Amino acid sequence: MEKYVINGGRELFGEVTISGAKNAAASILPGTLLVEGICRIRNVPDIHDVRLTLDILDSLGVTHRHIDRSVLEIDCRRIESHAVPAELGVRMRASHFFLGALLARTGDASSPLPGGCDLGKRPIDQHLKGFEAMGAAVQLYDNYIRVTIPEGKKLHGADICFDMVTVGATMNLMLAAALADGDTMLRNAAREPHIVDLAGFINAMGGDISGAGTDTITIHGVSSMHGGEYSLIPDQIEAGTYMAAAAAAGGSVKICNVIPEHLSCIADVLKDMNVSVKEGDGSVQVTRNGRLKSTDIITAAYPGFPTDMQPQIGALMCLADGSSSIYEAVWTDRFRYLEELRRMGALSDINGQHAVIRGGELNGASLTACDLRAGAAMIIAALAARGRTEIRNVRLIERGYQDIVGKLSKLGADIHAE
Ligand code: EPU
């Protein structure tokens, strides 16, 4: 499908079920390469990035089968290739996790420089610094990265302190260290829920990781890992996106299959904007009380306000009474959606990583999604806008949201794909 068409102004009611976490799948599916056995992974989201990850696993000679839409069996007893094909790897950021997992299992891994959403500079120096500290040699050539362990040697444990909090490098080095000789310490580690999930997966398959969820993670390398079963956590950002959708459109929506604790800082911002959020057992009920009020946010690593919810909240700010501000502290270029929302009448001043938004009424317009969360923000704005909005380039949205059109339609939104 090419575009979504949304007629705004319908309140949302009912229940929506959240799928498994995209950014947990991003490291755990490559992480099955650590395991000389069969992994059964539950709660896997049916999204484009997962399909691409499975294509990469296939290209390495690994076999997989779907037990049902959200349950996968991956058999990594045999690996035939150590190289992620360029045409697949460049299409997503998370392809770099194949480096950590393949290096750990085979001592030799190559992958193209990763692609993914264009959010400004996205270096991977911290990943490479960690591989080197563990004894790997890193070569860069023709936009390709190769990491190898010298003949006759193994990766060894190391004490690694990151220069900044990085989710990707924390997870990549957890993968690399899982089968290394000795202990690895990751200091200034990221604490996101999907990092705890990756540790849970590795431990379920016979690995030994402690401290995930704090800023110091210890990985005791084991000689091999066995098959087993693991269920991914629900997607914090998909849940937050439906919370923002309910706040924009009005009405009352129960968001099911969530871990409310992961949503608390998103709930706090919504409450500040005059939206009620009631925690249930594995669910949150989101109800808009009246007009949205302005607020201010600063993005940060977990448990701070997630950058991946910044555009969705930015869309709400475009509808709120008064002036709101955003400081985007993680990415250098994550306000392009605000420029696109100007077509709907949204008012914003952008200065580097700082934006000031003056809220008001929005009108339907023709928009183009510029990245995954920007596309989600455009849907949220369109649900509340007067008239018809068309959003093009929706393949970017489908990278990370399972069946967003079906889920919103079930809540009463007037949305369809063409
Ligand atoms: N950074 C470096 N060097 C590195 C790694 C990171 O300078 O080696 C910098 C980045 O440039 C950025 C900051 O550190 O300024 C944080 O980057 P991080 O490594 O945490 O981000 P990531 O692993 O590339 C993941 C998610 C992003 C999410 C960020 C932050 C995946 C596939 N992507 O990216 O998700 O924004 O963490 O939480 O897990 C999304 O889902 O829409 C998305 C973009």
- Tell me: the pLDDT tens digits for 179-231? 999 999 999 999 999 999 999 999 999 999 999 999 999 999 999 999 999 99
State which amino acid sits at residue 333: D
pLDDT score at 120: 62
Residue 301 CA to ligand 1 center (angstroms) comes to 10
pLDDT score at 213: 98
Q: Which of 330, 337, 398 to mutate to test the pocket of ligand 1 (most atoms within 8 A of CB)?
A: 330
Residue 305 CA to ligand 1 center (angstroms) comes to 14
Model pTM above 0.85: yes
- Return the residue whose CA atom lies nearest to atom 17 of ligand 1: 166
pLDDT score at 178: 98
Q: Which residues' Cβ are closer than 6 Å to ligand 1?
A: 23, 26, 93-94, 117, 121-127, 164, 166-169, 190, 307-308, 330-331, 372-373, 400
Residue 73 CA to ligand 1 center (angstroms) comes to 28
Residue 322 CA to ligand 1 center (angstroms) comes to 31
- Return the residue whose CA atom lies nearest to atom 7 of ligand 1: 123
Catalytically annotated residue among 76, 117, 318, 370: 117
Reported confidence tier of residue 248, pLDDT bands at 50, 70, 90: very high
Structural domain containing residue 272: 3-19+234-417
Domain end marker among 215, 231, 247: 231
Q: Which of 132, 166, 186 to mutate to test the pocket of ligand 1 (most atoms within 8 A of CB)?
A: 166
- Model confidence at 294: pLDDT above 70: yes
181 shares its domain with 248: no
Query: Count of domains in the chain?
Result: 2
- Model confidence at 42: pLDDT above 70: yes
- Look up the CATH number of the domain holding residue 369: 3.65.10.10
pLDDT score at 118: 64
- Return the residue whose CA atom lies nearest to atom 14 of ligand 1: 166
215 shares its domain with 266: no
- Model confidence at 136: pLDDT above 80: yes
30 shares its domain with 155: yes
205 shares its domain with 278: no
- Model confidence at 311: pLDDT above 90: yes
Total length of the chain: 418
28 shares its domain with 174: yes
Domain end marker among 204, 231, 258: 231
pLDDT score at 151: 84
Q: Which of 225, 240, 156 is nearest to 193 (CA)?
A: 240
Q: Which one is predicted more confidently, 112 or 12?
A: 12
CA separation (Å) from 373 to 83, 119, 263, 351, 409?
30, 10, 17, 20, 19
Query: In the block, which residue shows the tokens 């596309």?
Result: 375
Reported confidence tier of residue 122, pLDDT bands at 50, 70, 90: confident
Mean pLDDT value of segment 310-332: 97
Given the CA of residue 94, which atom of ligand 1 is nearest to it? 32
227 shares its domain with 258: no
94 shares its domain with 189: yes
Mean pLDDT value of segment 272-280: 97
- Model confidence at 116: pLDDT above 60: no
- Model confidence at 312: pLDDT above 70: yes
pLDDT score at 92: 86
226 shares its domain with 250: no
- Average model confidence (pLDDT) for the chain? 96
What is the DSSP track for 245-284? Answer: HHHHH-EEEEEES--GGGGHHHHHHHHHTTEEEEE-SSEE
117 is catalytic: yes
pLDDT score at 162: 98
45 shares its domain with 157: yes
End-to-end CA separation in angstroms for the chain: 6
Question: What percent of the chain stands above pLDDT 90?
Answer: 93
Residue 50 CA to ligand 1 center (angstroms) comes to 18
CA separation (Å) from 377 to 50, 101, 141, 277, 283?
22, 33, 37, 20, 22
Domain end marker among 231, 250, 273: 231
15 shares its domain with 129: no
221 shares its domain with 246: no
309 shares its domain with 365: yes
